[in-house]
Chain A
Amino acid sequence: MPRMNAARKHPVEFTLNGRTVRAEVENRMLLSDLLRHEIGLTGTHVGCEHGVCGACTVQIDGRPARACLTLAQQVRGSDVRTVEALAPDPAVLSPLQAAFRRHHGLQCGFCTPGILMSLDALLRERPDADREDIREHLSGHLCRCTGYATIVEAALAAAEEQRKEETTNA
């Protein structure tokens, strides 16, 4: 592949929430900025821009990752999911989102999209995730409103619900 000049924009193609997107970006463009400013998906929030706060967490190839520590060019060919992919319908929350609402897992909501994407990845990978697993995943996020306890309760409730659902369907 030829060297991509800094002064120009270059194409990047990847899957975003199940659809192929193609964008023209500067080499220095972060994935977080591509999502928000170019594509217009503002559900992914930007806090610290150096990987500490976790607000910008999205899923890249199924794993939670910082969008602010990823260049847009690095997701070429990858599968990216953002918080916009969670709700099945604009009027219906996903089970995890609904549990957050029920258990007061958010107040201002700034950190919530990132936390949802980390926990969604955890619950899909490990449906039997316990309190400790949830806390481990949450340690990569800062929330200044809730004190985290309600977030842990919401995640445990969502995990429980998901397990019940699977038993019913089995």
Chain B
Amino acid sequence: MKPASFDFLCPDTLEETLAALADGGGDARVLAGGQSLVPMLNMRLARPALLVDIMRLEPLRRIDTSGDEIVVGAGVRQAELEAWPSLSRDLPLLAAVFPWLGHVQTRARGTVCGSIAHADPSAELPLSLVTLGGAVSLRSRNRKRKVKADDFFIGMMATDLAEGEMIEAVHFPKARPGGGYAFREVGRRHGDFAIVACAAVADDKGLRLGIAGVDDRPRVFPLPALDDDQFDDAINDIAWSLDARDDFHASARYRRELVRGLGRETLKEASRCRA
């Protein structure tokens, strides 16, 4: 349970960071808060040749409002966004999610973008980003691009991040006026990885349900109104369309049942919150 050895770089500029990542290729990894990467290092599931610590890069440590988006830089810790004064007004879904996201002790160090980069299929922040229809800004030495959240997560802990690239920021769309947002989760212990987590949005575009912990990545689906005759069939079809699997924590059947039950509860709460 000790990391294998690696070179360490703590750059003062973004240019230096991107150059190191470009030279390191697939053997270089970005280190931010370390709450996902250091366990992987300890278990030697990750053995990078070079770690690039980005926490001294001041420009990445900002939360900005840009038009209809909240832009969270790669150096922003989860606890910092949790304490951001406009959170419950602009990102009410995240205000509901934070108490479930790891523990106080891991949110103090872990970053928002780090959790997005780690892409655990049961993690709350990737689920929130996909459900809200957010995006990820990626940066490498020669290229800058913005990828929709739904295209960024491509599989079990797999993302569209290319060699030499890093997440510069994530973009969460601001809450729409009168929109309702809700989050529910079932896990073995508060703060542990979710067995199934649901995030729901009810706004002028209708109902949407995001689901984590079932498929190999977070997924989001539109749904008819709760009192619609088609609702039961629709949520049942969603439960069956996900690639639910049996594992040590729960059976596939239980996960599908949670999608139906927890999904409905979460949508109900979001609809109630809709002004």
Q: Which residues of A are in contact with B by a Cβ distance under 8 Å?
A: 1, 3-7, 10, 26-28, 30, 33, 49-52, 54, 57, 60, 63-66, 68-71, 73-74, 76, 118, 122, 136-137, 139-140
Contact = CB atoms under 8 A, between A and B. Distances in A.
A140 B101 CA distance: 11
B5 A28 contact: yes
B104 A74 contact: no
B66 interface: no
Interface in B30-66: 31, 34-35, 38-39, 41-43, 49-51, 53, 55
Interface stretch (B6-14, B225-233, B244-252): B6-14
A128 to B, nearest CB: 17
Given A60-B109, A140-B104, 15 more contacts: A3-B8, A3-B50, A6-B49, A10-B8, A28-B2, A50-B1, A54-B103, A57-B105, A63-B79, A64-B108, A66-B105, A66-B106, A137-B104, A139-B103, A140-B102
Interface of B: 1-12, 20, 31, 34-35, 38-39, 41-43, 49-51, 53, 55, 79, 99, 102-106, 108-109, 189-192
B7 A64 contact: no
Dominant secondary structure at the B interface: loop
18 contacts: A1-B11, A1-B12, A3-B9, A3-B20, A4-B9, A6-B5, A6-B6, A27-B8, A28-B2, A28-B4, A70-B34, A70-B109, A122-B104, A136-B99, A136-B104, A139-B189, A139-B190, A140-B102
A60 B109 CA distance: 9
Contacts of A63: 79, 108-109
B25 to A, nearest CB: 15
Given A4-B9, A6-B5, A50-B1, A64 B34 contact: no
Given A139-B189, A139-B190, A54 B105 contact: yes
Given A27-B7, A70-B38, A65 B109 contact: yes
A44 B95 CA distance: 32
Contacts of B6: 6, 27-28
A140 B109 contact: no
A7 B4 CA distance: 11
